[in-house]
Amino acid sequence: MNKEELIRLVQRAIQTEYDGQRFYTRAAEEIKDPKGSAMFAQLAKDEVYHVEVIKNLYRELLADTDADPVKGFPIFQDRKKQEKGKPTDFKNEFEVLQRALENEAMARDFYREHARDFESKEAEEIFQDLMEMEEGHIRLLQAELDFIEQSGFWFDHMEFSLEEEQDG
């Protein structure tokens, strides 16, 4: 991949994480159960962390260019709905978790697919780390989904960030 293509790839990753943050913020606002709401609020914070990680990579790629940002694509929700502030079409908490799980899988697959596109070993490792973070979100969401299917109640919310584990 040439540098311009890599820049677009990183822009797409940034947009993906912004979309995820908006999705989780909206879910946290709409979920009535306090534990579920807290979990989605934490996931929104995790997505903000992902954006910061990717922005650092973006700055490195742009260091010797005069490229302008290009919009990515909405992986999580229809951006027009979000921008207009219309309510999402969540029917219930189960559906929110299912959609979140699907979205995290798409994000994980995106990072897995493109990790080796970079010449820089550091950039490749960043995408691999992001892939692992998304995998952590998938495990959490699947556990919540399984739990709700059996009991109708949420786990207690995360008292930690999955991303903090990666820094250790």
Tokens 């609020």 found at? 41
Number of domains in the chain: 1
**Higher per-residue confidence, 75 vs 134:** 134
The predicted-structure confidence for 52-87, as pLDDT tens digits, reads as follows 999 888 888 777 666 554 444 444 444 444 444 333
Tell me what percent of the residues of the chain surpass a pLDDT of 70. 73
CB atoms near residue 56 (< 10 Å): 11
Tell me what percent of the residues of the chain surpass a pLDDT of 90. 38
Q: How far is CA 99 from the centre of its chain?
A: 12
**Higher per-residue confidence, 79 vs 5:** 5
In CATH, what number is assigned to the domain containing residue 48? 1.20.1260.10
8-12, 90-94, 130-134, 149-153: which range is least confident on average? 149-153
Parent domain of 86? 3-167
